[in-house]
Amino acid sequence: MLIGELARQTGCEVETIRYYEREGLLSAPQRSSSGYRRYTAEQLGELNFILHCRSLGMSLADIRNLAAFKADHDHDCEDINLLIDQQIAKVHQQVEALRLLEQQLLALRDKCHESHAAADCGILQTLVEAAEGAPCVCHTPFGQDNHGHSQDYDHTAKKNGRSNKDRP
């Protein structure tokens, strides 16, 4: 099977397959005399495994780990569970963050109903005033006194909690 056929069977693009090989996720296939990649059913399974994991939102690093666990049959599956649990936690946090975001955007959207000049637009006014330190519908949940607003939408929280001196 050539790469184009594998791409057709998996729904994965040719360049992505080559990328996975470069990244060491997909084992390097045999080559024809002219250098064409020749795939077997085994590699079809390998690629489907990767695509399945990707569809569950796993990073390529996670998938590499998972593939290593898969190869090491006697290894305890505790690490697999940990990986899945971390993935669940990550996704859950993202859901929560995005739900909050949606509420904030809806509150902001509610500031403008009918068409008018930008200078009078409640949305723009809210954004400009918030930039000057005023409380805003989007980041002031419910009649909350909000001094020093600019520190409140903690954009550093998105990274990992604290920002300044963290080194990965």
User: Would you state the structure tokens that stand for residue 157, as one six-digit string?
Assistant: 């929280």
Q: If binding is defined by CB under 7 A, does position 161 make contact with DNA? A: no
- Site residues for a second copy, 33-52, by CB under 8 A, read 45-46, 48-49, 51-52
Q: Which of 59, 11, 88, 128 lies closest to 120 in space, CA to CA?
A: 128
- Site residues for a second copy, 124-163, by CB under 8 A, read 124, 127-128, 130-133, 136, 138-139, 150-151, 153-156, 158-159, 163
Q: If binding is defined by CB under 7 A, does position 154 make contact with DNA? A: no
Burial class (CB in 10 A: 0-12, 13-18, 19+), 80: middle
Q: If binding is defined by CB under 5 A, does position 112 make contact with Zn ion? A: yes
Q: Which of 16, 48, 87, 125 binds DNA (CB under 7 A)?
A: 16
- Site residues for DNA, 35-74, by CB under 7 A, read 35-37, 54, 59-61
CB closer to DNA out of 7 and 136: 7
Quote the CA–CA distance of 136 and 56 in Å, as a whole number. Answer: 36
User: Would you state the structure tokens that stand for residue 111, as one six-digit string?
Assistant: 């500031």
Q: If binding is defined by CB under 8 A, does position 23 make contact with a second copy? A: no
Quote the CA–CA distance of 134 and 145 in Å, as a whole number. Answer: 10
Please choose which of Zn ion, DNA, a second copy, none residue 99 contacts, taking the beta carbon within 5 to 8 angstroms, the exact cut-off set by kind. a second copy
Quote the CA–CA distance of 166 and 160 in Å, as a whole number. Answer: 9
How many C-beta atoms surround the C-beta of residue 53 within 10 A? Answer: 19
Please choose which of DNA, a second copy, Zn ion, none residue 92 contacts, taking the beta carbon within 5 to 8 angstroms, the exact cut-off set by kind. a second copy
